[in-house]
Amino acid sequence: MTNIVTSLKDWQDIRKSLRDRDIGFVPTMGNLHLGHISLCERAAKENEITVVSIFVNPTQFNLSDDFINYPRTISADLEKLQEANVNYALLFDEKTLYHDNYEIKVCETTLSKILEGEYRPGHFDGVLTIVLKFLNLVQPKHCYFGEKDYQQLLLIKKMVAALFIPTEVVACKTIRDHDALALSSRNSRLTADQRKQAASFPQVLNSNASIAEIEEQLKQQGFKIDYIAEAWQRRLGAVWLDKVRLIDNVEWEA
């Protein structure tokens, strides 16, 4: 059974009672799909207790429209967590998590400034801050992140090492739809036509074309491009279809 915890005090009592049991933690923003569930299932397999947080973190949104329109589907999410054998769902509100009135934050100065960071100023500071808060509250043995957000994964690993956090960061493969589009909560904001069009993004990213050719092909297919780049033996990209922003990355040997 998934226990729903909304009070910080309740969670702190529960956490004390769990003592040194192995906890696997999956932080999410909800609107759960099979990508999130694959992380939960792995956490359940590798730990005694699985904890998932659902919190649409305002400080990582650089566009207010994106925050307002971010899909929120809490009852369906809780059913999915139940099916995935998650023990605790943490649903804390903004006041609880940011009782410091946003006056304390984690800043990374280098990796967080390029690619996603260049196009989404402040995004990674928001991500690192909320993840650190949750790592302190949950004190997990393992914390699970998707390769879908590859730069985020690298930054979390970097923060955990830099701040001597006693949690192991576990990277999980990107889960894709039948046409290779990476599952994402933002996909639900695509129209039926855009959803069909979106499948070209991973296909073109995965082709042998050069970066310039990829950009040209995507432009011709109606995408607006933030960046296509090669780094960390991956090919990474961020594109827009109208008002919906998609990111993806694939393994890449230069």
Nearest-approach distance from CB 213 to ligand AMP, in angstroms: 26
Q: Which is nearer to ligand AMP, 175 or 241 (CB)?
A: 175
Among 42, 120, 123, 148, binds ligand AMP (CB under 6 A): 148
Q: Which is nearer to ligand AMP, 205 or 215 (CB)?
A: 205
DSSP letter, residue 65: H
DSSP letter, residue 88: E
The footprint of ligand AMP on residues 113-132 (CB under 6 A) is none
Nearest-approach distance from CB 47 to ligand AMP, in angstroms: 16
Strands 142-146 and 23-28: parallel
Cross-strand pairs, 3: 88
Q: Which is nearer to ligand AMP, 38 or 167 (CB)?
A: 38
Amino acid at 31: N
Inter-residue contact 130 to 25 (CB < 8 Å)? no
- The catalytic residue positions are 36
Nearest-approach distance from CB 210 to ligand AMP, in angstroms: 26
What 3-state DSSP class applies to 78? Answer: helix
The footprint of ligand AMP on residues 178-197 (CB under 6 A) is 182-185
Among 92, 98, 124, 145, binds ligand AMP (CB under 6 A): 145
**What number of chain residues touch ligand AMP (CB under 6 A)?**
17
The footprint of ligand AMP on residues 6-35 (CB under 6 A) is 28-29, 35
Q: Is 151 in the site for ligand AMP (CB under 6 A)?
A: no
Cα separation of the two ends of the chain = 47
The footprint of ligand AMP on residues 158-177 (CB under 6 A) is 172, 174-175
Q: Is 146 in the site for ligand AMP (CB under 6 A)?
A: yes
Inter-residue contact 93 to 214 (CB < 8 Å)? no
Phi first, then psi, for residue 137 (nearest 5°) are -75, -35
Distances, alpha carbon 118 to alpha carbons 65, 78, 114, 115, 238, in Å? 19, 34, 5, 5, 11
DSSP letter, residue 43: H
Q: Which is nearer to ligand AMP, 11 or 61 (CB)?
A: 61
Question: CB atoms < 10 A from the CB of 234, how many?
Answer: 18
Kindly state the tokens that stand for 150: 């590859």
Residues that bind ligand AMP (CB under 6 A): 28-29, 35-36, 38-39, 145-146, 148-149, 172, 174-175, 182-185
